[in-house]
Amino acid sequence: MQLKVDERLEAYRRMLRIRRFEEEGMRQTKAGKIPGWFHASVGQEAAVVGACLALRGDDAMTGTHRSHGHPIGKGAHLDSLMAELMGKEGGICKGRGGSMHFADKSVGIISESGIVGGGIPLATGCAFSAMVRGVDQVTLCFFGDGAVNQGTFHESLNMASLWKLPVVYLCENNGYAISTSVAQSHGQPDIALRAAGYGMPGIRVDGQDVRAVYEAAAQAVVRARAGEGPTLIVANTYRFDEHNFGLVIPRQPYRPIEEVEAHKRDRDPILLYRAVLLEEGVNEKTLGVIEHEVAEAVKQAVEFALASPMPRLETLPDYMFNSPLANSHSFVDGLERN
């Protein structure tokens, strides 16, 4: 399976939207406009977009703590996403989710999670729901190499295999769980081999090649939709920045500076794919139009987010629980009086 002509340009557009959105996010974090931590996926855009392009609009998805790129990879609007990162009322979760805990039903993201591997059982449950409801929806589950050693990974893959659930597990293997390398933490560093223990295909792909990721994901989605069960895809990729923007890790450098610079110079997925498109006959003007459109969209997203109001203090308990009482404010006021 290969990307069609229009899909190839859309792949470039979405990768660039993720890159420019997160670069702007880091600037806004440094300016104090985005509270909390900001985990950028710069360098990992091909793994995200390639997998997302294999999905239908009604397919579901779970993310990680590094998940600004996942909704963008599936076509989300930037305005409400930037507002969410700023904790604003105009955000997709009205500012309640922030950078690491939002959901976006418009593109099928049922959750992301600040807990390592937290989305894996949720994706498995979502796939089980599709099977019970008798629909052919597929769930795409993103997680990092650090999550592979979590118990939820093994329990979920075993359950999905037993019941042939329509789920695709995609490991964005960037080589480091914060500062701990795969070689230091995995008895079997070839993560794709883990799939054999659960009777499912384990596929390795170059996570810097959007076409390779798409082809692997498309095959896994077809398999899942046909009732043949889950697939584990390991997209070997690389994050260009630190685990968390602005975080100073005491044991630096935990990865050689030469390694980082070599990936930025030779393995940038956007530059690699731009060169492919030019070789295939796409002209510079077409790519320039896309690049201008992306820049304007990110600029508009920042303007929207900055203009959006902060949530009012009295709305703090809203959306926190589903109370059987008609007036949740009265319930909370009563608790305060007591």
For 325-338, write each residue's pLDDT tens digit: 655 454 444 444 44
Geometric angle at alpha carbon 215, from 192 and 181, rounded to 5°? 35
Compute the 3-state secondary structure of the chain and give helix, strand, coil in percent, each to the nearest 5.
50, 10, 40
123 and 139 Cβ atoms separated by less than 8 Å? yes
User: Mean pLDDT throughout 143-170?
Assistant: 97
For 194-243, write each residue's pLDDT tens digit: 999 999 999 999 999 999 999 999 999 999 999 999 999 999 999 999 99
Phi then psi for residue 118, to 5 deg, are -65, -25
pLDDT value for 336? 44
**Owning domain of residue 113:** 5-337
For 33-55, write each residue's pLDDT tens digit: 999 889 999 999 999 999 999 99
Residues 6+ apart with CB under 8 A from 5: none
Cα gap 324→327, rounded to integer Å: 9
pLDDT value for 169? 98
Nearest to 306 by CA among 88, 97, 98, 31: 88
User: Mean pLDDT throughout 269-293?
Assistant: 98
pLDDT value for 186? 95
pLDDT value for 323? 65
| Residue 138, CB-side half-sphere exposure with 13 Å CA sphere | 28
Cα gap 131→138, rounded to integer Å: 9
pLDDT value for 250? 61
| In the predicted structure, residue 30 carries a pLDDT above the cut 90 | yes
For 161-195, write each residue's pLDDT tens digit: 999 999 999 999 999 999 999 999 999 999 999 99
User: How many structural domains is the chain composed of?
Assistant: 1
pLDDT value for 320? 79
Give the start-end residues of each E strand in 145-269.
Answer: 167-173, 176-177, 180-181, 202-206, 231-236
CATH number at residue 168: 3.40.50.970
pTM of the model: 0.93
Q: Round the CA-based radius of gyration of the chain to a whole number and report it.
A: 20
pLDDT value for 330? 47
Cα gap 24→29, rounded to integer Å: 9
User: Mean pLDDT throughout 91-120?
Assistant: 93
pLDDT value for 334? 44
pLDDT value for 317? 83
Rounded to the nearest integer, the mean pLDDT of the chain is 93
* Distance set, CA 36 to CA 87, 143, 212 (Å): 10, 21, 34
pLDDT value for 337? 41
